[in-house]
Homo-oligomer: A and B are copies of this chain.
Amino acid sequence: MARKTGSHSEITGPRIRDAALKLFARHGFAAVSMRQIAAEVGVQAGALYLYTPDKETLLFDLLKAHMDDLLAAWDADDPGGAPVARLEGFVRFHIRFNLERPDAVFLSYMELRNLGAANFAAIEALRKTYETRLETILRDGQGAGVFALPDTKIATLAIIAMLTGVNTWYREGGRLSRAAVGDLYWDMVRKSVAA
C-alpha cells in the first residue's frame, strides 16, 4: 500500500493543520504525538513530514497564521474615526474574532514557550503590533481629552487581558449571546477609560 485514492496535498495539508490545532489546544503541544495527529487525519505519521519539516514548525505555522489573520482582520474591520467609536469597534472585534477560533487563541498564548528563540520572537512581534493598534486608539483619545489614562501602555494590556478572558468562560448556547457579551464588555471598557 502507498498512495491512497483521492489523495491530494491541498486536502491533506489543511486537514493536518486542523487536526494539529485541535489536538494541541486540547492536550498541549508536548502531550500530542505526531502519530496522534496522523491518526486524526487518517494517515501514517511519516506522511506528516511532506507538510512540515518538524513538529515545532507545525506549531509555529499555526501561531503565525493566527496572528496574521488577526492583524489582517482588524485592519479590515477598523472603523477609523473618533477614538470612542474606534475603541468600541476594537472591543467588539476582539471578542467576536476570538470567540470564532478559541483553539487558535488558546494556543497562541499558551504554547509560545515551546518555540525556539527565533520563532518566539516572530510571534511576539506580531502580538506587539496588535497591541499597538489599541494603544494608538487610546493615545489619540487621551490627546483629544475623551479618555483619562494615567498609563496608556498598561491600559492597553489591561483591556486586552480583560477581553481575551471571555474565551475562558464563554460557551456556545449559554446564557448570553455573543452580541450581549460585546455590550457588557464595551460598557466596562468605556467606563474604565472615561475622562
Contacts and interface: CB of A to CB of B under 8 A. Distances in A.
A157 interface: yes
A165 B155 contact: no
Q: How many copies does the complex hold?
A: 2
A26 interface: yes
A154 B150 CA distance: 25
Interface in A81-108: none
Interface string A126-167: 000000000000000000000000110011011111101110
A122 interface: no
Contacts of A113: 26-28
A188 interface: yes
| Majority secondary structure of chain A interface residues (helix, strand, loop or mixed) | helix
Nearest to A183: B150
A184 interface: yes
A69 to B, nearest CB: 21
Contacts of A158: 162, 165, 184-185, 188
A30 B168 CA distance: 21
A187 interface: yes
A166 B156 CA distance: 11
Residue among A109, A151, A160 facing the most chain B CB atoms (10 A cut-off): A151
Contacts of A159: 162
A175 to B, nearest CB: 9
Interface of A: 26-31, 109-111, 113-114, 150-151, 154-155, 157-162, 164-166, 168-169, 176, 181, 183-185, 187-189, 191-194
